[in-house]
């Protein structure tokens, strides 16, 4: 990660400092020019943030690992330290995670190789263990823990069944496909 590249990116109007904290973005990560990234945010190697996303690390930190994709229209935020939530709730999204379109992640933790389906909501201090698939439109309530290796559906999310071998393979396929998509955008597929 190049610090000069970080300074150059923070100068963009969509990548902003807040109270002296600036996003740290891996050199090979991708942030669409219509996405907004603010404050104490770390974006790992080969990760991507797509159009119209908001990643707001203003009142706590957001950490996004390697080879993770945050798809169009998603909102990522945190909770601050208060008497209502001692210590607050950072947002930590680990490696190889796919976050579908219009997802809300708020102060939760998504571990390696998960897929969060379109329009899902994951709330404060919830945890998705590695290799969890969360269905479209599902709601993970505050503090809820989703066991890895399963498909979870509904509001609140309930364990539906074990993932098939094909679904487990798909978790890695989607993450890899988004890494390839970054390269296509860099080669001229994105805005001029």
Question: Given this model, what pLDDT does residue 11 score?
Answer: 53
Q: Give the pLDDT confidence of 27-69 residue by residue, as tens digits.
A: 999 999 999 999 999 999 999 999 999 999 999 999 999 999 9
CATH number of the domain within which 45 lies: 2.160.10.10
Q: Is 165 exposed, middle or buried (0-12, 13-18, 19+ CB in 10 A)?
A: exposed
Range of the structural domain that residue 131 is part of: 15-186
pLDDT > 60? residue 80: yes
Question: Given this model, what pLDDT does residue 100 score?
Answer: 98
Q: Confidence class of residue 188 from pLDDT cuts 50, 70 and 90?
A: confident
Question: Given this model, what pLDDT does residue 53 score?
Answer: 98
Q: Give the pLDDT confidence of 84-126 residue by residue, as tens digits.
A: 999 999 999 999 999 999 999 999 999 999 999 999 999 999 9
Question: Given this model, what pLDDT does residue 12 score?
Answer: 72
Q: Give the pLDDT confidence of 10-34 residue by residue, as tens digits.
A: 557 999 999 999 999 999 999 999 9
Q: Are strands 158-162 and 150-153 parallel, antiparallel or unpaired?
A: antiparallel
DSSP strands (E only) in the chain = 15-16, 24-25, 30-31, 36-43, 48-49, 54-64, 69-70, 75-77, 91-93, 98-99, 104-106, 109-110, 115-116, 121-122, 127-128, 133-134, 139-140, 145-146, 150-153, 158-162
> Is 94 part of a structural domain of the chain?
yes
> Is 8 part of a structural domain of the chain?
no
Q: How many domains does the chain have?
A: 1
Q: Confidence class of residue 72 from pLDDT cuts 50, 70 and 90?
A: very high
> Is 155 part of a structural domain of the chain?
yes
Question: Given this model, what pLDDT does residue 167 score?
Answer: 98
> Is 10 part of a structural domain of the chain?
no
> Is 3 part of a structural domain of the chain?
no
Q: Model's pTM, two decimal places?
A: 0.92
From the list 71, 88, 72, 70, the residue with the least C-alpha distance to 80 is 88
> Is 9 part of a structural domain of the chain?
no
């Amino acid at each position: 990660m190049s610090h000069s590249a970080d300074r150059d990116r923070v100068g963009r109007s969509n990548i902003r400092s807040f109270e002296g904290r600036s996003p740290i973005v891996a050199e090979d990560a991708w942030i669409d020019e219509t996405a907004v990234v603010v404050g104490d945010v770390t974006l790992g190697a080969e990760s991507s943030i797509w159009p119209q996303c908001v990643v707001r690390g203003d009142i706590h930190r957001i950490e996004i690992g390697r080879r993770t994709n945050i798809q169009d229209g998603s909102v990522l935020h945190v909770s601050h330290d208060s008497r209502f939530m001692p210590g607050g709730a950072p947002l930590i999204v680990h490696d190889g995670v796919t976050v579908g379109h219009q997802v809300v992640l708020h102060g939760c933790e998504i571990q390696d190789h998960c897929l969060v389906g379109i329009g899902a909501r994951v709330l404060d201090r919830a945890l998705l263990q590695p290799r969890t698939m969360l269905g479209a439109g599902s709601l993970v309530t505050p503090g809820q823990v989703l066991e890895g290796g399963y498909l979870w559906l509904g509001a609140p999310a309930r364990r539906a069944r074990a993932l098939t071998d094909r679904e487990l393979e798909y978790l890695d396929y989607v993450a890899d496909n988004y890494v390839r998509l970054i390269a296509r955008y860099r080669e001229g597929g994105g805005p001029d």
